[in-house]
Chains A and B, each alone.
Chain A
Amino acid sequence: MSAATPASQRSLAEHFVEVRQQEEARTIGMWVYLGTEILLFGGIFGAWAVYRYQHGEAWREAAHHMDLWLGAINTAVLLLSSLTMALAVHAAHALQKKWTLLFVLATVSLGTLFLGIKAYEYMQEIHHGLAPFAAPIPVRQAFTPATELYMNLYFAATGLHAFHLISAIALLGGFILWILKSGLSADRAATLEILGLFWHLVDVVWIILYPMLYLTR
C-alpha cells in the first residue's frame, strides 16, 4: 500500500534503511499480531466445535434461543463498517482529510451501533432468563444444562468480541482527534492502514461467530 503515497513524504525511523522496508515491517508485524488474535478466538471456536459435537441435538435446540434477525442486522452493520473503513484508508492515502474523517467517523458510528444493538440483545436475553449468570435459580432450572453451557459460551465469545470492538473504536476515536488536532499526513495514513487491519479482523471474527452462534439450528 506504500504505492499510494510517494515515499518521499514519509518519515523513516533511524534503524530502517528505506521507507518500503519500514512499511513492510509494520504490515507484517501487524499481521503476525492478527494471527495471535485469530488463535485467541480459535480457542473459543474449538470449544464450540467440541461441544457442538458432544451435545449435537441439545445445542441445535439451544441455538433457537438466539435472535437471528438482531444478529443479521449486526452482521450487516459490521460489514458496512468494514467497507467504510477500507474507504477511509484509501481517502487517507490520497490525503483527502475531509473524506478520511467522514469515513472513519462512519466506521466508528457503525461500530457503536453494533455495540448498542448487542447491548439491547443482551438485555433481552437477561430479561428472558437466558443469561445463566444473571438468572434466578428457578429460571435456570427451566433450561437444560446444555443450553446453559451454550449460553455461557455465547456470552464468553460475544463478550470477548465486544471488548475487541470497543478497543478498535477507541483506537479510531483517538485517530480522529489526532487528525483534527494536527492534520493528515502520509505517515498518519500509514498508521490508519494498520488500525484498519485491526478493525477488519474484528469484523472477520464476527463473520465466523454469527453463523456459529445464530444459524446452526
Chain B
Amino acid sequence: MTTAHPQAGAHGPPGPAESNYLTDGTGLKSWLFTTDHKRIAILYLFSITFFFFLGGIAALMIRLELLTPIGDLMESDTYNRMFTIHGVIMVWFFLVPSIPTVMGNFLVPLMLGAKDLAFPKLNLASWWVFMIGGLLTFFVILLGGVDTGWTFYTPFSSTYANSAVTLMATAIFIAGFSSIFTGINFIVSIHKLRAPGMTWFKMPLFLWAIYATSLIIVLATPVLSIALLLIAVERVFGIGVFDPALGGDPLLYQHLFWFYSHPAVYIMILPGLGVVSELIACFSRKPIFGYKAVAFASMGIALVGFLVWGHHMFVSGQSVYASQVFAFLSILVAIPSAIKIFNWTATLYKGSIGFETPMLYALGFIGLFLFGGLTGLFLATIAIDVHVHDTYFIIGHFHYIMVGGMVTAYMGAIHFWWPKATGKLYPEWAGKISALTIFLGFNLTFFPHFVVGYLGMPRRYHEYPPEFQIFNVLSTAGSTILAVGYLFPLVYLAWAYKFGKPAPSNPWHATGLEWQTPSPPPKHNFHEIPVVTEKPYAYTAPEEEDKS
C-alpha cells in the first residue's frame, strides 16, 4: 500500500539515522493508505483528538448555560441537542476508540514482539470506517443535531423525535464496525502473533486489558447495532418493533441498548486499567504485585460486566426481582476492580517511586477511579439509585470513571509512550503542570455534581432552582481550568515533536519489548524477532541505586 516507499528510499536523505516508521514513506497518501499499525495509531490520534475537542466544546456550552439558573444562553431544545452531541461524540468517537485505537494499535504488536497486527488491511479499513461514521456525525451536527440524548431511548427516538435520529444512528452503526474490526485484530494478534517465549503469563498487563476489552467489543457491539438498526427501520419504513401502540415494549430497546452500553463502560475503562498497571510498575521500580490476579481481574471485569446492565433500568419499570439480581451482580464488579486498586497500592509499597509526568497521571487515576467506583456502589444499591436516579450524582459518578479515570489514563499513556512514538522528549515541567491542572480542574468541575445531585438537581435540564447555583458556578469554573489543562499538552507536545530533545530508546528504563527497539521504531518494529525469557516487570531496585 505504501506506494511512496521505494521513492523515499531513493530520494530520502542518506542521514546517519536509520529510517523509522515516521520517515519511511512521505506524502499524504503514504499516511492515509498505510497498513503500518503505528501510522494507523497516529491517524487515530489526530482523529480522536479532533472529536475530543469537538465534544469538549459542547461540554463547555453546557457548563456555560448552567452558570445561571435561568435558560439564558440557549433554548431547552438547543440544550438537548448540545448534551446529545456531547454524549455521542465523547462516547463513540473518543472514549470507546481512545486507548485501544491509539495506544493499542501502536503498542500491541510492539509488546507482542510482532511486525504488525494480524490483519493490517482490516486495521486500515477500521480507521476509514471510523472516519466515515465520525464525519457523518459531524454532518448531523451541522444539520442541527439530535435531541434524544446519547441513549436514543424509544419510543421518543423511534416515534416522536423530529431531529436527524436516523442519520446519527447510522453514523454510530458504522462506527461500530470500526470497533469490531479493531477488536478482531487484537484478539487474533494476541492469540497468534506472540513472539517466541511470550507466553500468556509473560504478557504485559496492558495486553491482558486490551484482550479483555476486545472480547467485550466483539460480543457487545453487534447488539447495539441491531438496536439502532431497528430504530432506523421503524423511522424509515414504519416497521415498528418497539412501538408501544402495537404492544411492543420500549424497555426491550433499553435491554438491548444496555447489553452493549454497560459493557461499553468497560470497553472504555479496561484499557485505562491496563495502562495504569504499566505506569505504576515502571515508576515504582517494582514488579507488579500479584500479576496473575491483576490479569484475571481484567477478564473478570469483562465477564461480570455483561451481567449487570439492568442497573440502568431500576426506575424504568423493570421487574423488581430482576432489579435485585442486577443489583447483586453489579456489586460483584467491585471485587475485580478492588483487586486492581489493592495490587497497585501494594506495588507502590516500598517502591522507589518517581514522580514523572506519566506517574502523576497514574496516581491521579487511582484516586479518581476509586471515587468513581465507590459512588458506583451507591448507585448499584436500588434504594439509593431510586433517590439519585437521573440527577447530577450519576453525572458525577460516570465522569469520575470516564474523564477522571479513562481520560487521565489516556493522558498518562500519551506521555509515557510519546518518546517512543515520536523519538522526542517533552519538557517535563510542562507535563507536570498540565497533569496537576487537569487533576485540580477535574475535581472542581465534577465534585460539586455529587453534592448538587444528592440535593436533587436533575440531569438534562437547562434551568434549575437558584439554590443550586453555587455548585454550578464552581463546576463551570472548574471546567475552564480543565479546558486549559487539556489544551496545554497540545502546545508543548507539538513543540516537543518539532524542537524536543531526541529520546533514547528507553527513557524510563522500563521493561517490555516496545522499549527494546529504537525510538521511533523502524517500519517492521524489530530488526530481529525478539525471544522472551524474562518475566514481565522485571524491575529491580539496584538499577535505581545506580541511577542516583
> Are B238 and A25 within 8 A (Cβ)?
no
Chain B 223-242: CB-based contact to A (< 8 A → 1; otherwise 0):
10111011001000111110
Number of interface residues of B (CB under 8 A): 47
A203 at the interface (CB under 8 A from B): no
Chain A 39-71: CB-based contact to B (< 8 A → 1; otherwise 0):
111111011001100110010000000000000
> Are A25 and B229 within 8 A (Cβ)?
no
Among A132, A149, A152, residue most surrounded by chain B Cβ atoms (within 10 Å)? A152
B193 at the interface (CB under 8 A from A): yes
Closest to A36 in B: B222
B247 at the interface (CB under 8 A from A): yes
Residues in A with CB closer than 8 Å to B256 are: 43, 46-47
A35 at the interface (CB under 8 A from B): yes
Chain A 126-158: CB-based contact to B (< 8 A → 1; otherwise 0):
000000110000000000011011001101100
Pick from B222, B241, B529: contact of A39, CB under 8 Å:
B222
Pick from A28, A39, A58, A133: contact of B239, CB under 8 Å:
A133
Interface of A is mostly: helix
Pick from B109, B188, B246: contact of A149, CB under 8 Å:
B246
A29 at the interface (CB under 8 A from B): yes
Bound: A99/B192 CA distance, A: 33
A181 at the interface (CB under 8 A from B): no
> Are B223 and A33 within 8 A (Cβ)?
no
B187 at the interface (CB under 8 A from A): yes
* Given A33-B180, A40-B225, A47-B241, CB of A145 within 8 Å of CB of B246: yes
A: contact size bracket:
35 or more
Closest to A32 in B: B184
**Shortest Cβ distance from residue B227 to the other chain A in the assembled complex, whole angstroms:** 6
Closest to B257 in A: A43
**Shortest Cβ distance from residue A188 to the other chain B in the assembled complex, whole angstroms:** 17
* Interface stretch (choices B13-21, B64-72, B112-120, B315-323): B112-120
> Are B180 and A149 within 8 A (Cβ)?
no
Residues in A with CB closer than 8 Å to B185 are: 29
Residues in A with CB closer than 8 Å to B229 are: 160
Bound: A145/B243 CA distance, A: 10
Bound: A153/B233 CA distance, A: 10
Residues in B with CB closer than 8 Å to A152 are: 239-241, 243, 246, 248
A2 at the interface (CB under 8 A from B): no
> Are B219 and A35 within 8 A (Cβ)?
yes
Closest to B227 in A: A43
Bound: A145/B220 CA distance, A: 31
> Are A21 and B192 within 8 A (Cβ)?
yes
Residues in B with CB closer than 8 Å to A33 are: 180, 184, 218
Chain A 9-29: CB-based contact to B (< 8 A → 1; otherwise 0):
000001111000100110011
List 10 other contacts, CB 8 Å, given A33-B184, A46-B252: A15-B115, A15-B524, A16-B193, A17-B529, A29-B184, A32-B187, A33-B180, A47-B230, A152-B239, A155-B239
12 contacts between A and B (CB under 8 A): A14-B524, A15-B116, A29-B122, A29-B188, A40-B223, A42-B222, A42-B226, A46-B252, A46-B256, A47-B252, A145-B246, A152-B246
Chain B residues in contact with chain A, CB under 8 A? Answer: 109, 114-120, 122, 180, 183-185, 187-189, 191-193, 218-223, 225-227, 229-230, 233, 237-241, 243, 245-249, 252, 255-256, 524, 529
